[in-house]
Structure 1
Amino acid sequence: MALGAQPDTNTREVLLRARGLTKTFGDFTAVDGIDVEVRHGEAFGFLGPNGAGKSSTMKMIGCVSPVSAGELTIFGLDPGRDGPAIRSQLGVVPQKDNLDEELTVEENLWLYGRYFGIARAEVRRRAVELLEFAQLTDRAKDRVEPLSGGMKRRLTIARSLINEPRILLLDEPTTGLDPQARHILWDRLFRLKRQGVTLIITTHYMDEAEQLCDRLVVMDRGRIIDEGSPRELIARHCTREVVELRFELDEDNEALAVRLEGIGDRAEALPDRVLLYADDGDAALAAVGSRGLEAVSALVRRSSLEDVFLTLTGHSLID
């Protein structure tokens, strides 16, 4: 696809629309009446802890799990009636790689391409391009089993692109990867977005959401609790900086947070540390010392989506 200036997100075609989307399993509600719109060419994220309803939402979007209630359209089609037509235009990267480890790297792409009825010659042509994109050309004839986790993840993404999808679904794409592999994967995904592929990503990593997503929803217990760009959400709910204070293990963080009230906007006690939200973190840290409190360690950092989530829900993304 040709690269070029992208139109404003709000003017692009809506590819996915959900209204009151609900998923239940018996008496348990995994997704509780959410409203979502995803437009062509954007990277859209579902941010939340495990159990928030992200994967259940993705399975409904991927047409592998029926909608319990509400409305869902993808490319203007109904997943209940038009599942095969929708799936032919989707690429799916599941939480866990499901590659055929007995086959070679290139054979995994060839086999998957044939599922879509793509001619052999065309599948092989696309495989060459995708292996180059995934930086796996030199491993094309190697078996999958001995590849590193990062290589397998890149191969899974390459495989998901064999049918030239309009939307790529990525469910927790970098879970279990080391920092270097994560950054390589982020670069590949950024390149796809620049080529016009629409990305829908679930993650519980706030740095990943900040790096990849133009817009996201924050989910907890099956519901959407806010929506916006990472920058908008941080500006809406947090101060410019946060001071992380760690005290001796026998200290009561709840009591310490009370003693720190009045410094900055607010103090938040967590099991292992106390957070001070302030526009000037260095000034807040100096004020802590003036109250006769001595932390074992102190860190001044910018606010993140983790802080947004904690403010909105009262618990951490990793809970």
Structure 2
Amino acid sequence: MFLEKFSRFVRRYHLVFRPAHKAAPTLPLFADDGEYSVLDALEKKRAAGTALITMRNKDVIELIKVQHFPEREVLALLFHRGSPDAADPIYRKRGDGGLTVRQAEKEDGEEQSVSAHLVISTRAIEEGRYDANLEEIPGINMSYVQQIIAQTLNDYLYDYEVGKRKIKTVQTRTIVKAEGIKSETIGNALKQGKIDFITFIKPAPAKYVDADGLWEPMNDVMRLKVKGKIEADDWQDKVTALVAEARADGWQDFNIEIDLGNKRSKTIALEREQEAKEILFVKSDEILLKNELSPCSVELQDEVIDRCIDLMRPEAIQ
């Protein structure tokens, strides 16, 4: 996946922060100096250089910047992924002499890197639940970002008081969960996109299993290429009829692969109770930028933050 200079895709989430003990107060996103908050936890971990995870291939994903913008009502985080063993990028050029390629060379101590913004609204939807947008960058996804935040908050103990007559002070920590916002329908996606494949899955027969347990059967998978056009207003009838016939033949699980355009695709699991209904799924939104955006920066980019804020406004939700 190549990153464009003047556009990015972002994915919308709800970030949910809950105390580990039900009786404890919810940790606020920000607070006055010296008071407990998510911002304080992140900033302390970032300043110590420990707000990171190391991958098996030695890549490092790290929180390198966190800032509260009171006037914009957001908390913005910037993550890097550095890859010390990544191959240097190649640039090609077509000229009168034919096609040539040039390899960029890195200096000692450098590593190929990308960055991604996470923008969190400080206006709570309900206690502990906030809108958030994550910039989609190869190698940086919400699974890794949530892991870094979760590790940070797990190490950040805060005090609260319990009891009525005999009050005592105890400690707890915060648990974080990211929930993708389902804001797009298959029908609407097919107005510009198309269904490329439908995948059937069922348990494989166990006839090749030996007594020593050397072989383990997994799943039978059949992938159908959609040759014709399935329209937005009749996809349910066509897919439901196909799935009903396939279920009668022993197939159990079904995935729909949709080409969304812009070199993007989405695989959606078709649950039994959804077969006759319109299906919502988590989509990515494109943001257009006036200024060129580097694949990696060490500072938070105002334009990215502002476009994310636009997406979090109620009128931007499909």
What's the TM-score, normalizing by structure 2?
0.26
What's the TM-score, normalizing by structure 1?
0.26
Whose helix proportion is higher, 1 or 2?
Answer: 1
Whose strand proportion is higher, 1 or 2?
Answer: 2
**In terms of Rg, which structure is larger?**
2
